Amino acid sequence: MIRHRFAGIAVIAAVVLPLATLPAQQTIRLTPSNGRVAIWNLLGTAHIEQGTSSEVEVEITPRGADGARLITRTGLIDGQQSLRIFYPADEIRPAGADRRQDRRSSTTLRMRDDGRFDANNGGRRVKVWSGASFEASADLVIRVPSDVALDLHVAVGDVFAAGTSRTMSIDTYSGDVHTSATRGSLDIDTGSGDVEVKGHSGDLSVDTGSGDVEVSDVSDARRISLDTGSGAVFADRCSATDTLTIDTGSGRVTARNIEAPQMNLDTGSGAVEVAPTSAAGALHVDTGSGAVTLIAPANFSAALEISAGSGGIRSDLPLQTLRHSDGELSARIGTGRSRVSIETGSGGVSIRARL
């Protein structure tokens, strides 16, 4: 186990080193184990970019009155090379936060002695809030080689990633996530925060407890999954070779120019607008409360099963009606090549031609 302090504290290694004052900013290099590296930081922003070295380079900038007291720890954890930033306090105020701000907002978790943290298991209880006297954050710039996968864990802070080309997992408790021009499998999980993905090649999974999700230009994916407990979802120009799933507990769903053999859109409460790029495949839309609008591509051909619990059904396209009664409709457009099922507990259903 190797430990470093940011300033004025000894560096402990395999041999005894003299006391040395480290600069306010330092770079730590990690040699990947099994092609993967994990980074844990309680507070601060993270910028992820493509690296040119064979090692993962992490540029760390401590901030706040107590930033110099933060400790970095490196070494193998469960066989994986890792960097953990340790905060030596039980209550922590993000650097720059005004102590007079609303103190009702806080994040509470468990931090182990090695710097890792989670919501429930192991370690001491740590509370992040504006009323704490200990003030510190650590901003990171992470440069990742093209052949190394990254697991990033941030409790409170925004994450930005651009131009990376390998598997990446981003996990935050509270903070926005923005990515652009990325490749490889991308997994984003945030408890509270907006997620924006602009340009991605590969599988994509986004899960946020509360926050909006905006995704565009996703290709070469087998599966795409977008999930938010509360928040709107906007997807444009997204294609998958297996499944595309959008699920929101409460929030509007807008999905344009999407394509997959199986497309599933589900919202507990919120309107849905969906515009697939082709007539092939299967589309299922389910909303507990909210109108559904299907914008059909040219030469649309589908077998329709529609249930509108309380709301009308309207189509601008000619339908061959097979069954129609009490908000239930079985019909066919063209030869019925695609399969479309739409169900809404409360809200109308409209089918329109793409202009």
Give me the phi and psi of 300, to 5 degrees please: -65, 130
* Digit-coded pLDDT (tens) for 93-105: 999 876 666 566 7
Q: What is the pLDDT of residue 347?
A: 92
Indicate if the pLDDT at residue 139 is higher than 70: yes
* Digit-coded pLDDT (tens) for 267-300: 999 999 999 997 668 999 999 999 999 999 988 8
Range name among 47-56, 256-265, 324-333 with the lowest pLDDT average: 324-333
For the chain, give the number of residues: 355
Percent of the chain with pLDDT over 70: 91
Please give the Cα distance from 194 to 176 (Å, whole number): 5
Q: What is the pLDDT of residue 25?
A: 86
Q: What is the pLDDT of residue 9?
A: 33
Indicate if the pLDDT at residue 36 is higher than 80: yes
Higher pLDDT, 9 or 105: 105
Please give the Cα distance from 52 to 290 (Å, whole number): 49
Band the pLDDT of 24: cuts 50, 70, 90. confident
Per DSSP bridges, beta strands 320-325 and 328-333 are: antiparallel
Percent of the chain with pLDDT over 90: 77
Indicate if the pLDDT at residue 7 is higher than 80: no
- Phi/psi class of residue 310: alpha, beta or left (left: φ > 0; alpha: ψ in -120 to 50)? beta
Q: What is the pLDDT of residue 103?
A: 60
Q: What is the pLDDT of residue 106?
A: 86
Mean local confidence (pLDDT), 57-85? 94
Q: What is the pLDDT of residue 11?
A: 33
Please give the Cα distance from 192 to 231 (Å, whole number): 10
Indicate if the pLDDT at residue 315 is higher than 70: yes
Q: Which residues pair with 168 in a beta bridge?
A: 150, 186
Higher pLDDT, 9 or 238: 238
pTM attached to this predicted model: 0.91
Look over the chain and give the mean of its residue pLDDT values, rounded to a whole number. Answer: 90
Range name among 10-14, 259-263, 283-287, 328-332 with the lowest pLDDT average: 10-14
Indicate if the pLDDT at residue 255 is higher than 60: yes
Band the pLDDT of 8: cuts 50, 70, 90. very low
Spacing of C-alpha 84 from chain mean position = 21
Indicate if the pLDDT at residue 21 is higher than 70: no
Work out the end-to-end distance of the chain between its first and last CA atoms, rounded to an integer number of angstroms: 63
Specify whether the CB–CB gap between 245 and 224 falls below 8 A. Answer: yes
